[in-house]
Amino acid sequence: METMTATTTTPKPARTPKPMNGVDTPVLLATINVVKAEPALARFVFRATNRWQQGTHSRTRIEAFDGAGATNAHQQEFAYDADHPPVLVGRDQGPTPVEFLLHALASCLTAGIANIAAARGVTLHEVESTLEGDIDLRGILGISDDVRNGYQEIRVRFRIRGDAPDDKLRAIVEQSRARSAVYDVLTGGVGISVTVDT
């Protein structure tokens, strides 16, 4: 009887974290512990520099960020164009700025899914998402003050396959949403200061 009780109440042995899904899970968990011990390491400043090209076309360079107590250069220089499409009198030299919001959201949620799945010992086979954002351009065109400038709604639909039951896969997506930096900013908003040097 005592043995049975012990058996039924003994917690599962702690799973030894191992790399999976391309995530170095032991290093990830060790990193979290290091930051727990020294919270100042968690303060990051991300940066970008944008230059106007012509018309609605501009280009952003993303070069280095501060974090973990140092300035970190990316391993390559990343540069991205954005533009308006012809139907909005642009030249389509890049996606629109609002399409990059969808990319930021999808990639943030997906990175979280991979990390969380690895931490939970779930091997992922496939993660795909489709995103849609509705916008009424009467806002930005200055036609109506009753229409907001930005998206009115964004819909994200994930298709996820892995070696876990459906409810466990759904819980991974949910945990990623709950801890997503981009989801947080897009749903909750953030203060933005704009200053001008002429």
- Minimum CB separation of residue 132 from a copy of itself in Å reads 5
**Considering only residues 16-35, where is the footprint of a copy of itself by CB under 8 A?**
21-24, 27-28, 31-32, 35
Q: Which of 89, 120, 121, 163 contacts a copy of itself by CB under 8 A?
A: 89
Residue 120 interacting with a copy of itself (CB under 8 A): no
Length in residues, the chain = 198
Nearer to a copy of itself, 14 or 192 (CB): 192
Q: How far is CA 45 from CA 42, 70, 88, 154, in A?
A: 10, 10, 34, 27
Residue 122 interacting with a copy of itself (CB under 8 A): no
Q: Please give the torsion angle defined by the CA atoms of residues 60, 64, 68 and 70, in that order, rounded to the nearest 10 degrees.
A: -150
Q: Amino acid identity, residue 85? A: P
Given a contact cutoff of 8 angstroms between Cβ atoms, the answer to whether 98 and 161 are in contact is no
Residue 187 interacting with a copy of itself (CB under 8 A): yes
**Considering only residues 123-162, where is the footprint of a copy of itself by CB under 8 A?**
124, 126-144, 147-161
Given a contact cutoff of 8 angstroms between Cβ atoms, the answer to whether 170 and 93 are in contact is no
**Considering only residues 43-62, where is the footprint of a copy of itself by CB under 8 A?**
43-58, 60, 62
